[in-house]
Amino acid sequence: MHIPRIMLSAIRSRIGKTTISIGLMRALKNRGYKVQPYKVGPDFIDPSFHYFATGRHSRNLDSFMFKANILETFQRNFKNADIAIIEATMGLYDSHDAIDEKGSSAEISKILKCPVLLIADVERMSRTVAPLLLGYKIFDRDVDIKGVILNRVGNPRHAKKVRLAAEKLAKMRVFGVIPRQEVVIPDRHLGLIPAHERDEFVEIFDKLADLVEKYVDVDGIVTVAERAEELDEVDEHPVFRKEKTNVKLGVVMDRAFSFYYQDTLDAFSSKAELVYIDALNDKKLPDIDALYIGGGFPEVFAKELEDNKKLRNQIYEFCESNKPVYAECGGLMYLSESIIVNNEEYEMVGFLPLKTEMHRRFQAHGYSIYKVIKNNIISRRGDTLIGHEFHYSKVLPSKKLSFAFKVKRGFGIEGYDGIVLNNTLATYIHLHVLSYPQMVYNLIKAAKKAKD
């Protein structure tokens, strides 16, 4: 199977990888290419930028959560595209521990037989770039590093020095030399700002595209991508096969709640009709059989969520009626009694007997492995869940909580997670459908049972 593809990786985090990746995606789109974006790792925010840069939903490639299905999601989502651009995570060889490659961008590149371009920050550096690049080349010769983009160059004299060092000493092709520039994507406490919150991002993306067109050999990158090795074709995972259904699954999707894996939504949409709900503006809960509330930034929109009392009350009644409700992270916070932000308390749905409080530092960040200890609407006792936690909030229970999960790796809520009340499950872990496909079948089964 021929899929033109390239991975943009880096020597470490925070050196312009996302900026350059988005610029390349946008430049190719502006040239008329149908660009399919991908993101290595569990991140939600970079994929939202990819969507606005390309017009296509970005897909996560995470070998810690679903290594066996990397090829499947890569191929299935490439349909009708011209070129795949994969934005790596962290440094090329960074993994979940110091020894093996599990979860690294390098591992993904090998699974996909994908050529790699390194991005190197050469600020305050000249000849030293050569041994740095050589180290990346020889560390794992199975990783197909095709060249480098030198970022944050100071002036033309500096540019000439680092280019010569990379080409003559490291014997690495230079695909671009980019000067320090002012076009940046602002940060926020949870990472990068979700794209749909900022109207000016389209303008920023076009500026990034202009930057890439000016300083990067886009034609050369396309040629490398087109020469990528053929892939063995794999079958589509059955969880994505369309089935006749009369189940309606409500999905809360708005500025406050936007952390969903598109593959997970695709899987649910193959088994149910998805009905989207805006928790900030909708005044009435639609006719649905089950409800899915993903993560996001409820603390940022706490006042607006509090003000929409009509919808909060209807969601409370829906939970009380024993209809299935699945909430992840921000969804858990929304179902609580209140969210405390900077000593200000905002009323939420009030179904779960707890409050959540925001902290300045991470309360959890990283991969999680849970053991299911109690049957619930998405999983069965004895199963193992592999997912990701990423939050600044902490649970303050007002009553004893009943949990469905025991934490084997990660944080959760004092060693447990998956709060169960009636037919509601609220958890800090973010699950991807390909790490636990049963979540779709089980939730739809629970919805059908409640409907009947």
Q: What is the pLDDT of residues 341-373, one digit of tens each?
A: 999 999 999 999 999 999 999 899 999 999 999
**Residue 130: inside a domain, yes or no?**
yes
Judge if 180 and 280 occupy the same domain: no
3-state helix, strand, coil in the chain (%, to 5): 35, 25, 40
**Hey, which residues does 339 pair with through a beta bridge?**
346, 356
Could you identify the residue written with the tokens 């521990």? 97
Q: 295-308: per-residue pLDDT in tens? A: 999 999 999 999 99
Percent of the chain exceeding pLDDT 70 equals 96
Judge if 271 and 222 occupy the same domain: no
From 47-51, 89-93, 161-165, 382-386, the region with the lowest mean pLDDT: 47-51
Which is nearest to 426 in space by CA: 346, 361, 336?
A: 336
Judge if 147 and 260 occupy the same domain: no
**Confidence at residue 451, expressed as pLDDT on a 0 to 100 scale:** 87
Judge if 20 and 151 occupy the same domain: yes
Q: How far apart are CA 429 and CA 386, in angstroms?
A: 9
Q: Residue 39 pLDDT more than 60?
A: yes
**Confidence at residue 202, expressed as pLDDT on a 0 to 100 scale:** 80
**Confidence at residue 312, expressed as pLDDT on a 0 to 100 scale:** 99
Judge if 218 and 279 occupy the same domain: no
**Residue 232: inside a domain, yes or no?**
no
Judge if 213 and 315 occupy the same domain: no
The last residue of one of the domains, among 203, 226, 249, is 226
Which is nearest to 94 in space by CA: 156, 159, 140?
A: 140
Q: Checking DSSP bridges between strand 116-121 and strand 5-10, what pairing results, if any?
A: parallel
The last residue of one of the domains, among 226, 258, 280, is 226
Q: Residue 81 pLDDT more than 70?
A: yes
Q: Which of 329, 348, 352, 372 is catalytic?
A: 329
Judge if 213 and 261 occupy the same domain: no
Looking at residues 50-61, what average pLDDT do you find? 95
N residues, the chain: 452
Angle at the Cα of 382 (from 379 to 383), degrees rounded to 5? 50
In b/e form, how buried is each residue of 260-289, taking b as 16+ CB within 10 angstroms?
bbbbbbbbbbbbbebeebebbebeebeebb
Q: How far apart are CA 41 and CA 103, in angstroms?
A: 7
Confidence of residue 243 (pLDDT cuts 50, 70, 90): very high
Q: Residue 436 pLDDT more than 80?
A: yes
Confidence of residue 97 (pLDDT cuts 50, 70, 90): confident
Structural domain range at position 58:
5-226
**Residue 231: inside a domain, yes or no?**
no
Q: Residue 166 pLDDT more than 50?
A: yes
Judge if 317 and 174 occupy the same domain: no
The one-letter code for the residue type at 221 is: I
**Residue 170: inside a domain, yes or no?**
yes
3-state secondary structure of 2: coil
**Residue 276: inside a domain, yes or no?**
yes
Cα-Cα end-to-end distance for the chain = 45
Which is nearest to 348 in space by CA: 308, 375, 376?
A: 308
DSSP 410-438: S-TBTTEEEEEETTEEEES-B--TTT-TH
* 319 is known as an active-site residue: no
Judge if 217 and 255 occupy the same domain: no
Q: Residue 209 pLDDT more than 50?
A: yes
Average pLDDT, the chain: 95
From 53-67, 187-201, 392-406, the region with the lowest mean pLDDT: 187-201
**Residue 233: inside a domain, yes or no?**
no
**Residue 142: inside a domain, yes or no?**
yes
Q: Which residues contact 344 (CB under 8 A, 6 or more apart)?
A: 302
Q: Residue 195 pLDDT more than 60?
A: no
**Confidence at residue 198, expressed as pLDDT on a 0 to 100 scale:** 58
Number of structural domains (the chain) is: 2
Judge if 142 and 277 occupy the same domain: no
The last residue of one of the domains, among 158, 192, 226, is 226
Judge if 164 and 49 occupy the same domain: yes
Domain CATH code at residue 320: 3.40.50.880
Judge if 339 and 375 occupy the same domain: yes
Q: Residue 183 pLDDT more than 80?
A: no
Domain CATH code at residue 49: 3.40.50.300
**Residue 236: inside a domain, yes or no?**
no
